[in-house]
Amino acid sequence: MSDILGVASNAVAAYQRALNTTANNIANVSTVGYSRETANFVANPVTQTGNIFMGTGVAVDRITRQYNAFVEANLRNSNSDLTSQEPMVNYANRVVDIMGGETMSLNSALDQFFSSARDVSTDPASTVLRSSFVRDAQGVADRFGQLSSQLDSIQEETSQALQGQVDQINSLSKQLAVVNTQLTKQRTADSQPPGLLDQRDQLLRDMSNLAHVNTKFDLNGTVTVSLGPSINQDLVVIGNKSVPIGANFNSASPEKVALVLDPYGKPLALSGPTSGSISGLMTFREQVLGSSRAALDNLAKSFAGAVNEVHLGGIDGYGNPAVALFAFDASASSAAGGMHVAFDDPMRVSAAAQFRVIEKDTNTSGTDATLLYEPSATLVRSTPDGQLLVPADDISKVFVNNPHPSAGHAVSVASSVPIQAVASVARGMQDVHFYLDAAQSGQNLNILTRDGRALVGGSLSDAMQETLMTTSNGFASGATYSEAYLNVSGSSGYRDMQVFYGAQATVQQQPVYNSKDQIAGYKTFPAVLQGNRIQTGQTGAIAADAFVINGVALDGLVALSDGSTRQASDLATWINSKTYVKADALVDTVTINGQAVSADDSTRLPITVIEDTSDGVPTIGGESILNMSMEIGGQTIDTTEVTDLNGLVAAINLKSSDTGVAASISRAGNEVHLVLSPTLNSGVTAVAYNEIRIPPSQIRLSMPLSISGVDIASYQDGALTPALRNIYDLATAINDQTDNTHVKASVTPAGELVITNEAGYEGQDITIDTTYYGGSEANALSISSGVYGGNLRLTQPVTADDSGTGYTPLQLTFGASGTPYEMAQLGFRTEASISGATPDDLLVFVSGAGMSSVAASYAGHPVDPREALRSQSLEVEFTSATHYTITDKTSGTVLASRDFDPAELAPGLEYQGLRLSFTSAPAQGDMFNMNGNQDGVGNNDNAIALAALENKHLVGNKTISAAYIDHVNEMGNIARQATIAQTALTVVHEQAVASRDELSGVSLDAEAADLIRFQQAYQAAAKVIQISGQLFDSVLGIR
């Protein structure tokens, strides 16, 4: 009996728990996140009675949740995928409704704008039509602003939604961390309270609504959560710790959002959720909102830019150059939001064109001409905001503004293509100077207009011209080469320009101040052209007419064949003694101590000088030079300060501008002569000298020195002889050898050592010989060993120019055969310059193969080419049916000479952005005048051009309206695709929900069946207990 009772009692207890579990399931049928629970029955251990094993009944092992990790993960993933489409569907449709709606569409405003432009073109003098045009232009700007404002509203709304969802993620993460803390109290998940596990799973499902989550479960049911692509990165829940995320909105592009992990600790960029509503919001903001804003801003800029470009190309009702029609507020958050009309006055509408063409009455072809200004990209041009664009090779971008050789730009010219572009000079630049250094034989600078007019530089061969004249070199299409204005200045030059090619110096002026520190006048100084060292080792000939000094051509120099080399003094004598002299300057004009001295010819008067005298003072004609008197050409030479022969030469040369005679010293063996020579017609005198200056910091007194093969200081028996204690000892050592080296030295007050030629050897080469110290090359001067050539200095007396308002400069220019290479042999830099403003764009080249260097200086800035053209009157003349010229009517300069194709009429020709079109081919003799239009209300060309923008491709290959419609359609396609994806994902999600409900959901039918089954079992077990009691009572009743 006891066994029956025990079995029945266990059964009653077990089924009572089963009934409780079923009742709990029924009670939680509507509880969100509840998982159905089941009682797990297990048989109690059997007992052995004799040879028989008897069962002891049943027990409930545990109450378990109906849960499957795969089903739950699938539900979370489908949930994330579905919620990611909702923001795209909702917000993208709103954007499409806004931009594509009848009331807000941009196209209706554009249609009205272009209609008003057409109306103005019918009557450009009407202020009513002009006012309507301004109103409709503002209507377009307002429509852009309204659309931008609507996008701003959606942006703000989605920003708040995104921030709210980020906050939800952080809240759920905190709650999940708390649940994990509670779960750590048990060792296994089976031991956990089912309700706690349900709470965990519900939190994960809520998080999956917001973002895709990766999970990892421990044995006790605690979960690790990641928002990244894998469970190992971007963790937001780790055990009982949660890590917050933050949303950073880009101030420059507010539609862009970056998610940050642990923003208040150690922030790390979050990879970004791939699904969920946060992902959907971010995708919408980037793909739709950002794209729409960018498209709207681009349309605003493109439309305003195109309209402004045309508007700026005309003149307003007052006859003034137009201003931009549209402007943008720099403080606005977007271009579309900041767009507005730049003026209110309807008379400032640009209806008339800035240029006009007038056909000559005598034209025989009957063709009608139209003129447009459409500059190409190669020209300096204005942007809609008035800024000037210059090409990449502009002088200001290639060269620093520094004429010194150290600032030069290396130029390499290949022998295969013997001409190399250097830079361009924009119209309006002023006082432009280019300097050619280290020129190779045959090299020249060349400055030309874009139409091939050679202005400055050397002549080009036919082959070079063919190589040069291409559009790739910056020349206009059809340009031809001409040297008609090459190196010609003034009224005969190109547009009356002042140009120069050679080496030059100007008269210097120093202000003189009065007692009130006011400029009372100016002190003038002669123009001095200071040369560098001449090239040493010269022996070759210099052709006659290679060089010209102030209009006077120099004779040639014959080649040296006696083994000697040309010295600076030889070049000075050559310049000073050429045939272009003042007539009879030396005939019966020189008296010394009252005695006339006659010359054998008019070009040279040698006077014997005795230097070897008892007192060391040179004598002429037996008289000391200290108390001699001299007159030349009736002019008294001031000899009161003369102490030596050099002083006498200087005194004579001081009066050269009055006497026409220059003095020099000639030494040949033991003979010394004071040589008087006529100066050039130009009044220029040349002086040769050689000077080496050594700063005190360079002096090395322990080093040897040898000059011109003579040891100044050398090591003998290990000691430097003579011993040099200071710089003065070094100067003395040099001077001790002057008779052998013809070199002397002195020390300046600043401590510099100055090495020069002795008197009579001025300008001769000075050789610093190679010496060695300590096994390496060194000398006491710390300079390189070698031959140091002399220098030339040309001086031009102060002379008024032809106008009487200025001074004549000293100019050494090229004759028929001179080149920069030969100029460099004389020690002078070749300069190609333009004084004043440049009236056209210029191109600069170096011709001739070899390496050289070019430096530049410049002033001014580029001017607006449109305004420059408006101030000109240009005449197009057809010299034949296939050729025409363009002439500047003001100066008479032929600006271009080109061939004409009668089949190409629209445009027939182009000049600096002016495009001249014809209705039929012009005939020989036809002439057309192109100039700036000044009539602001009698011309409608610009209004017609504004209206024509409606059908022009302003955005890629689309009109402005087509581009707008295409963008709206593109956004509509995105919205439709999102809707389709949402529909498909809804089916997937519903299947995932059904799978979970089938496993974990509560079914009242199933629970009712279980309730009946468990009730019957419970009643049966109770009956067994009753029967066992009756049996027990029966046993007790047996007597």
pLDDT digits (tens, 9 = 90+) for 51-97: 787 777 777 777 777 677 787 777 788 888 888 888 888 888 888 88
Note whether 478 and 886 are within 8 A (CB). Answer: no
> Could you report the per-residue pLDDT of 494-520, keeping only the tens digit for each?
999 999 999 999 998 899 898 888 888
> Could you report the per-residue pLDDT of 697-708, keeping only the tens digit for each?
999 999 999 999
Q: How confident is the model at residue 825 (pLDDT cuts 50, 70, 90)?
A: very high
Question: What pLDDT is attached to residue 679?
Answer: 64
Tokens of 143: 């429509």
Q: How confident is the model at residue 585 (pLDDT cuts 50, 70, 90)?
A: very low
Domain 358-390+864-932 annotated CATH 2.60.40: yes
Question: What pLDDT is attached to residue 588?
Answer: 56
Strand partners, 832: 434, 501
- Out of 532-541, 669-678, 878-887, least confident range: 669-678
- Out of 11-15, 204-208, 518-522, 524-528, least confident range: 11-15
Q: What is the mean pLDDT of residues 675-694?
A: 81
Q: What is the mean pLDDT of residues 382-401?
A: 70
Residues 6+ positions from 454 with CB-CB distance below 8 Å: 446, 447, 448, 460, 481, 482, 483, 485, 486
Q: What is the mean pLDDT of residues 581-588?
A: 46
Tokens of 802: 């032809």
Angle, helix 194-210 to helix 127-183, in steps of 10 degrees: 160
Question: What pLDDT is attached to residue 129?
Answer: 95
**595-597 and 37-43 strand pairing:** unpaired
> Could you report the per-residue pLDDT of 1014-1024, keeping only the tens digit for each?
777 777 767 77
Tokens of 1008: 């009712």
Place of tokens 């993208």: 92
The two counts, helices (H) then strands (E), for the chain are 19, 61
Residue 756 has pLDDT above 50, yes or no: yes
Q: What is the mean pLDDT of residues 249-259?
A: 81
CA nearest to 63, candidates 102, 105, 115, 21: 21
Angle, helix 2-27 to helix 1004-1036, in steps of 10 degrees: 160
Tokens of 434: 């280019």
Q: What is the mean pLDDT of residues 327-342?
A: 92
Buried b (16+ CB within 10 A) or exposed e, 160-195: eebeebbebbbebbebbbebbebbeebeebeebebb
Query: What's the rounded Cα separation, in Å, for the pair 351 and 933?
Result: 12
> Could you report the per-residue pLDDT of 621-658, keeping only the tens digit for each?
778 888 788 888 778 888 888 888 888 888 888 887 67
Note whether 609 and 759 are within 8 A (CB). Answer: no
> Could you report the per-residue pLDDT of 808-817, keeping only the tens digit for each?
899 999 998 8
Residues 6+ positions from 1006 with CB-CB distance below 8 Å: none
Residues 6+ positions from 764 with CB-CB distance below 8 Å: 567, 568, 569, 690, 742, 757, 790
Break the chain into its structural domains and give their ranges. Answer: 2-66+1001-1036, 69-354+936-968, 358-390+864-932, 395-565+808-861, 581-679, 691-788
Question: What pLDDT is attached to residue 755?
Answer: 97
Question: What pLDDT is attached to residue 119?
Answer: 95
> Could you report the per-residue pLDDT of 10-63, keeping only the tens digit for each?
777 776 776 777 777 677 777 777 767 777 777 788 777 777 877 777 777 777
Phi/psi for 524 (5° steps) reads -100, 150
Q: What is the mean pLDDT of residues 214-241?
A: 88
Q: Is 517 left (phi over 0), alpha (psi -120 to 50) or beta?
A: left
Question: What pLDDT is attached to residue 516?
Answer: 84
Query: What's the rounded Cα separation, in Å, for the pair 915 and 925?
Result: 20
> Could you report the per-residue pLDDT of 931-971, keeping only the tens digit for each?
998 888 888 889 999 999 999 998 989 999 999 999 989 88
> Could you report the per-residue pLDDT of 884-943, keeping only the tens digit for each?
999 999 999 999 999 999 999 999 999 999 999 999 999 999 999 999 988 888 888 899
Residue 426 has pLDDT above 90, yes or no: yes
What is the average pLDDT value for the chain, to the nearest integer?
86
Strand partners, 693: 754
Note whether 623 and 597 are within 8 A (CB). Answer: no
Query: What's the rounded Cα separation, in Å, for the pair 687 and 662?
Result: 10
790 half-sphere exposure, CB direction, 13 A CA radius: 25
More confident residue, 657 or 266: 266
Q: How confident is the model at residue 272 (pLDDT cuts 50, 70, 90)?
A: confident
Buried b (16+ CB within 10 A) or exposed e, 87-110: bbbebbbbbbebbbeeeebbbebb
At position 422, the amino acid (one-letter code) is V
Question: What pLDDT is attached to residue 765?
Answer: 95
Question: What pLDDT is attached to residue 660?
Answer: 72
At position 583, the amino acid (one-letter code) is A
Tokens of 693: 């200056």
Q: Domain 691-788 has what CATH class?
A: alpha beta
Give the DSSP H or E segment for 672: strand 671-678
Buried b (16+ CB within 10 A) or exposed e, 256-273: ebebbbebeeeeeebebb
Q: How confident is the model at residue 997 (pLDDT cuts 50, 70, 90)?
A: low
Nearest 5°: the CA angle 961, 965, 968 is 145
Query: What's the rounded Cα separation, in Å, for the pair 473 and 365?
Result: 35
Query: What's the rounded Cα separation, in Å, for the pair 377 and 354?
Result: 20
> Could you report the per-residue pLDDT of 101-153, keeping only the tens digit for each?
878 889 999 999 999 999 999 999 999 999 999 999 999 999 999 999 999 89
Question: What pLDDT is attached to residue 581?
Answer: 42
DSSP string, 685-751: EEEEE-EEEE-GGG--TTS-EEETTEEEEEEETTEEES---SHHHHHHHHHTTHHHH-EEEEE-TTS
Give the DSSP H or E segment for 178: helix 127-183
Query: What's the rounded Cα separation, in Å, for the pair 940 and 117?
Result: 10
